[in-house]
Structure formats: C-alpha cells, structure tokens
Structure 1
C-alpha cells in the first residue's frame, strides 16, 4: 500500500474548473476531478500555514491553545507513526516555513526529506549588494521591516530562476516524481509532495502570463496587498490575473503527477490526496489575502480530492462535512496503523465510500480571533467579547514564533501551567499572547451566514435559533478540545445573556451610542495618541467627539490636529480598524 499527498498553499477552490469555475485555465484539475472523489464541504481548522500543518500531523485543533507553532514534544505525528510502523515517509517541499524557527520540528518526523530552495523570501542566495526595495505602509515597524527583507531576498532569488525548470514549483514536482519513479514498484511508502505555490509572491514564467494577456508592462511585483481593496478596477484585474496565471502553472504540474499515476498504474494500490492549507481572497468581499478579515469561505472552505483504492468511485462528489484534522486519521486508517486517542480527526473512509457523515460540525479559526463553526449549511463566527489580549495566552514547550524565538522579555512573564488532556502529563509554559491581529479582533462582531440562500456570504443571516444551536455546539467542541479556561470569558460562554449576533455596543461602554465603524476609528486614534504621549490631543478628542460623527469627521480631526508625519501610519491603521464588512 502506498499514498501520495500532493499539497499546495493558498489554493482558492472557487477558481478551479473542478468546482465549476471558468475563471482560470485548469484542465488538469478537471482531469483530477474525474479520477478522484471531490469533497464539497471540506474546511480548514487552524489558520494559517504552520497551524494547518500541525493539524496534518496531529489531527488536533491547534488554534485554541497556540498560534503559529512547531510540533511539540507531546504531539502525535502522523508521518512519524507511519515510520514506526515500517512505512517509509518522504517529504519533498519548497515551503520555507519548515526551515524557520516556527516550523523547524516538522521535517525530521519523516524517514527522508528534500527541501527545494528559493520561494518567497527564503534566505537562499547571498548577494551583498542588495537591490533597493521600495515598500511603504502604515504597518508596525517590525512587520514592515520583515516584508522589506522578504521582498529584497525574493528579488535576489529570482535572478537565479531564469527558466521554468529552475522555478521552485517545477523543481519540487520533479523531485517528487523522481521519488515515484524510483519507488513505484516498492510497497509501504507515503510521499508528501508539497508546493508553496500559488502562495504569493505570484512569480510566474512568461508563457503562463501570456495566457492571460499579461506582459512586463503591468509593473506588478507579485505581492498582493494584505488588506482591503483600494486598487482601481484595472489594477485589481492585473493582480487577479497573476494569481490565475500561477494557478495555471500549478495545474500543469498537477497533470504531471497524474501522468505518473497512469504510467505506473498506481491507481490500483495507491491513495492520492490533493489538498491545500487554506484559500485566498482575491478581491472577494473587497479584501485581499487572509489574516485580518473574517474567515470567509474563499479562505475556509477548501478544495479536497481523494482517491482511495478500496472505495473506487472515480468522478464522485461528497457533501459530507470534513476538515484538515481528518487527513492524518484517514492516512493512518489506510495503512492499518492505530489512530491515537488524542487525535480529534476521524477517517474519511465512510464518507468516501458512500457519503456517510463523519462529523456534525467543523471548528476553525485563528488563535484569539473569531472562533468559527459550520454544519455545512450555516457558518457562525463568534467574536471575542473582551477587548485586547490581556487575558490571552499561548501554551507551549517550543517557544518560537513564525520567524523568531520568543524574546527574553516575553519569557520573563511566563508561568507554568499543569497541562491539558492531550499533553501526556507535561506541564506547559503559559506565555501572554502578542499579535497585531489580536489587538482589535472583536471589531467584526458575531456573524451568521446561510450558505444555502447566500453561498457568497454577501449578507448576514439573523436566525437566532440557528445561532444558538451553533453557539452551543461551539461551546461543546471547545470543551471537548480542553480549551484554556480563559476562552470561556473571552468568547462570552460565561455570559449567556450576551447577544448571539452583531456587535455588542457594551464592549466599549463609553462609545455605545456611536456606530461600530466610528467607534473603532476613535479607538484607533486614542491608541495612537496614548502610545505617542499626546495626552493633550487625547483629551481634545474625548471632548469634541460626537455620536453623530461620520468617517469624514474622523479624517478631518486627524488632518487638523495631528502632524503630517503621522498621517500615513495612522490612516492605514484607522482604515483597517474601520473595515468591518
């Protein structure tokens, strides 16, 4: 028995022909659909990249206890379990996060592994005289400098990728096919063939750009903005075309894997999974990217294809609800390995066989932000009912973030927690959370969407009974996950009288008469003035602000009262805070 998991990053299901879209040229995804079983209600769990990959190893929700995280000493790792059962596990990937501080414990769980260099800002080629990178935003300085460094390194790396066969996607697939070519006649192996594309930057060979009428005159560097859409219609279309062009390149290499499945007749005894960690917003809901906005289905409802040689139904589709935490249980079940008791995911074999439901609900989200739940028809998004992050923590024995270690200052505030039901008796470091995403994570409020009547999530449903049912299911799932106790108050489970839908004005009692948009705009200005020591202007704002103020009034206050040098940063922050839809 053999298995291949062909995984991509930031794959938008709504752009694929296999899901009924003609937005991009994807004939091989259509071919994949005809060869496999397609899931229509497959959801993310923990967001974004490494939290999703931790779930692929452990089959547990990551986001309730941690944000971006390495594998922990107490984690059950699916590839490692297979390895211990005599299954050779091989990882081929160009996903640079496996080699950063926040993901460095993943690759060594496999029997063997290959890392393809050069994606995004991978610190690959050393050029001392670096190119000049122009990047302006109002983001915090640490994030801004990280983006500049990544863009600079990307400009260096692409100088060494002049031809398509030098592109990381091409090299990654080529290495995966080499493994298949070498081992197709052998038994008992699992190949995780994982590609960073179509994640940004959208670095695309010219032949694919030409398919969408794009030439070098577009002056787009491949980096879509990570916030709300402000671009003109023409500029917006160019960014979307770059993604589509890269998606068509991805499709080309999906076809090469399918060719090998055919050539070596692997369909007889080999499971094939084609999946992604999450989707990507390309202007839908007037947002780009992920991370800040609510987890709309363009990000959360992801493509998933599977071929199970014992459940042959080529071209079939399934409505059964499933999610990322179910992948490791499905693979362990396929190879006859015991599923650990701490694994929350379940094998998808019954759903693959005849669409038998395997779960009633799927829970998903970012650490400390909305907790989301779906039953396949409705999506309920539960906002924090507490402002800020003063009572939010990360629990870990591996204190690293996406690209750095926890600082001594962060660790000085650490306390010891006795551990959770799944930590195998290990106590944990309990460390106060720090994230820009979390500072105003309550601003979007509680939301409910009916995907049957409103599949594009264009308006919020107001069905209180449905919201109550999903709220109670969410509470139950979080308890079953042994979620930290402080989350009960953060999400209002200890206050049943709180509203189930909408923004609760009592989150900010002083501004309960203001509209939500103006309330968050004023809060943003207040925070800026407090942090910059401008107490006189803070008092003036509190004196002159009125509930009837409009966005123009806030803008005018900044223009008249705050120095020009602070405008760009403050307007950027205000625009993000006031973007509620």
Structure 2
C-alpha cells in the first residue's frame, strides 16, 4: 500500500464546485470528485491550525485540554507509528507554523521532510529597511505584515511561490519512489490561507471593478467594510483557490501518468474553512465555529474499495483520518485514539460516528449529529475555570512566560497521558469569547446558513447529552464542565443546564 495526503489550509467547502460553487474556477476539484468518494458531512475538530494537526497525528481531540501547542511527549503520532511499522513517511510543506515554538515537534515525526519558505510573513528574507507597501486595508500593522511584503518580492511568478515549490517537491518524491511500495507522502500547502496572494493568471478568472486600497488579507474581526470590499476579498480568495486547483491538477496528472490509482490511497482534505463576511465576520477564532469554518470538504480514493464518483452522507471528522491511514497499512490504532476508520463509509456509506465534537480552547464547545449543531458557550463572562494541561509549555510563537509557570502545579495523569502527570496552570490565552455570542442551537436541514437559532428544550437536552458523552470520551477535565455549566459524572440534564430556552418556557425533564 502507498498513500498520499494532499492537505490545503483554510479551504472553504462552499467555494468548491463539488459543493455547489459553480462560479469558482476549479476544474481539477471537479476532476477529483470523479476519481474519489466525496464526503458531504465531514467536520473538523480541534481548532485552529496546529490543534487540527495534532488531531491528524493522534486521532483524538485536544482543544479541551490546552491551547495551540506542539505534540506532547505522551501523544501518539501516526507518521511515527507508520515508520515503526516499516512505512517510509515524507512531508513536504510550506506551512510556517511547523517552525514556530508551538509547532516544532510535528515535522520530526516523519522520516524525512522538506520546508519551503515565504508564506504569511514567515521570518525568511532579511531586510533592515522597510519595504514599499501600498495603501492597504489590513489593520494589523505588525512585523508579520511587514515581513510578508518583503517575502512577496522574492515570488515574482507562480513558479517561485512556496505553494508551487511544495508541490514540485511532492511530485519529485512520486517520480523517485512511485514504483516502490510501503510509503506515505503528505503534501501540505498553507494556501488558500490568508493572505490571498496569487497571480494574474488566477485573478483573470474573476474580473471585477475595484478601485479601493489593496486588500487580500482580512483581519480577524467583525466586518465593517462596504459590500464592494467584501466582494473583492472573496474574489481574491477564489483566485488563490484556483491556484490551489492547478496544484491539485498536477498531483492528479502524476497519479495518471504513473498509474498510481491501483495501489495508492489519495486523501484530499483541509484543517478548517474561513469566514469571508458570512455572519458579519472575517476569518475565525473569535466567533463560533460556524458551518463555513468547521464543515469541511473531504475526498478519499481507497484502492481497496475502488469506489469513485460517489458521495457519502456518513458523519466523519478529522480524528478519523489518522485511524484511516493506519488502517490502509494494516496497523491497529492505539488505545488512546478516538478516531475510526473511514473504510466502511467509503465502501458503502456505513455510519462511522453518532456525533462530532469541535471547538477551540476556551471558546464554544460544540457537537453535531450531522443535522443539528449545538454550540455551548461559557456560563459566565469570566470564562472560568479554564486550565492549560501540558508538558510542553509553548504558545504559538513563544514559550510560556515565567509568570504563567509560577502558578503551575503538577496534577495526576489523564487517561491518555500514559501515566505521565501534567503541568496545570490557569489559561492566559483562549480562541474566542463565547459568552459574547451565547449558546446556540441550529437545524442545518432547515437553516443551512445558521441565521435562526432554535429554542427547543427537548432538543437542547438531547444535544447536551451528546455533548457531555463526547466530552467524556475525550476525557475533558472537570473544569470544562464547570466553565460551561454542564452536568458531569452521568448526572441528568436539568432545567438549569438549558441556555437556548427562556426559563419560563422550559419543559420539565
């Protein structure tokens, strides 16, 4: 068996023609759909980028225990497990977060890896003088923004772009090793993550009039720009997606030219989507994880089933991809993995899971059964108690400060830490302000745009039970139940636990 995972970052399924976006030029995604099984009900889990990648390695959710961070010493890693079983693993990527403090233990789990510089203000080319920057609507004028304009100077053509060079390296691996057996290749590009930097040949598919300041990098904030600016940003994102589509086409060409389809699994996926004005927001993290961000595209070719040009309605999510890769190579999942192999769903759309748990550290904790989505907010504005549980005290781009560590205490192991105790300390960083939005309940079958939250006591009780069950499976610490005002230890759901229904209209248990 051989396997290729092509991972795009921030790929919004609603911009793909496979999911109804006929205005976006993505012919190779359409071609991909003819070669694979397309999943209609796939959800991400732990958010955002590196928490999602921790799920891809470990097959279990992590956002209830800590914020953005590296793999922990007790974490299982699928690339590492495959390597121990004799599978050659290789990573090619331009994702800059792997080389920051909060992502530094991931790429080393592969036997070999290649990194291509320059994405989103990556600390790459050294210029003492400030770059010439046009008038720009991006408001966060930090070093990342400055460095990005320096980096762009070294990418005059699409061939120079780190996305292209990443795919070049993936294709080189296929040419070198395609005839061999027993390998896993992860081709991972940061695009279409912001900034939406692409080229004239990609922008040509989206002609439109725009005379405002440069704008291809929305800030993480509420939308206060006029409709013309929003429309322009959406077309800039679409242009970058078209560039990603061309990269996908090159991978599909290699599968055709090297006749890889008979014995090579192909998974095309993402970590999450991106808000482009929907719900009055840009990007992610602060608002709830709405459908545009958490309901993700997924395409799977499994040569064992040979199912292609078919769709699947089974509820699946990111943690299942780790176990699916192990299954492809005949390796059993570890006892700590929550994910389940997608093989039954690929073969005959068999059910994989009853519910999918998702959220970000300290933000809404959410669950879906594939139709209803329940987003549980913190019970108070203080968003407490909330604790980091870690043995790797680094944030996204920094180490934990001594002030944070002074309050740390050593606490007993959790079920998945393999007997290792943990440092626990009060959180200083969260991914959202859930109390601002409140607890939300949606019926996607009747309200796919999530515009009309439901007030239904009976339904909320059922979704609370699903949520609590999922949190128990993830071994959420007791503080999370307290923070969210949820019943723990098998206690029944009472009126006081209901948030979406006014107290005077709540039903009795």
**TM-score category by the smaller chain?**
over 0.9
Structure 2 match to 1:116: 116
Structure 1 match to 2:500: 502
SS of 1:57 mapped into structure 2: helix
Do the aligned partners of 1:6 and 1:193 also contact (CA within 8 Å) in 2? yes
Deviation at 1:23? 3.0
> Where do residues 65-104 of structure 1 align in structure 2 (5 Å cutoff)?
65-104=65-104
Q: Does 1:244 align with 2:238?
A: yes
Deviation at 1:467? 1.4
Structure 1 match to 2:250: 256
Deviation at 1:136? 9.1
> Where do residues 136-147 of structure 1 align in structure 2 (5 Å cutoff)?
none
1:458 corresponds to which of 425, 429, 451: 451
SS of 1:226 mapped into structure 2: coil
Do the aligned partners of 2:265 and 2:301 also contact (CA within 8 Å) in 1? yes
Distance 2:215 2:14 in 1: 24
Structure 1 match to 2:506: none
Deviation at 1:215? 8.4
Deviation at 1:210? 2.2
Q: Does 1:52 align with 2:45?
A: no
Using CA pairs under 8 Å that are at least 6 residues apart, name the structure with larger relative contact order, 1 or 2. Answer: 2
Do the aligned partners of 2:91 and 2:107 also contact (CA within 8 Å) in 1? yes
Do the aligned partners of 1:389 and 1:433 also contact (CA within 8 Å) in 2? no
Q: Please provide the CA RMSD for this pair.
A: 1.8
Deviation at 1:185? 0.2
Structure 2 match to 1:183: 177
Q: Does 1:406 align with 2:422?
A: no
Deviation at 1:500? 2.3
Do the aligned partners of 1:419 and 1:425 also contact (CA within 8 Å) in 2? yes
The structure number with the bigger radius of gyration is 1
> Where do residues 421-440 of structure 1 align in structure 2 (5 Å cutoff)?
421-435=415-429, 437-438=431-432, 440=433
Structure 2 match to 1:328: 322
2:308 corresponds to which of 289, 314, 322: 314
> Where do residues 227-376 of structure 1 align in structure 2 (5 Å cutoff)?
227-376=221-370
Alignment coverage as a number of residue pairs: 497
Name whichever structure is richer in helix by fraction: 1
2:197 corresponds to which of 200, 203, 211: 203
Q: Does 1:478 align with 2:471?
A: yes
Distance 2:502 2:233 in 1: 36
Q: Does 1:488 align with 2:474?
A: no
Deviation at 1:216? 9.1
Structure 2: unaligned runs, 5 residues or longer = 488-492, 504-509
SS of 1:394 mapped into structure 2: strand
Deviations 1:342-395 (A, max 9, x none): 000010101111000010000000111111000001001111113324421010
Do the aligned partners of 2:136 and 2:213 also contact (CA within 8 Å) in 1? no
Structure 2 match to 1:540: none
Deviations 1:91-140 (A, max 9, x none): 000000000000000000001000010000100001111226688999xx
Structure 1: unaligned runs, 5 residues or longer = 139-143, 506-581
Structure 2 match to 1:24: 24
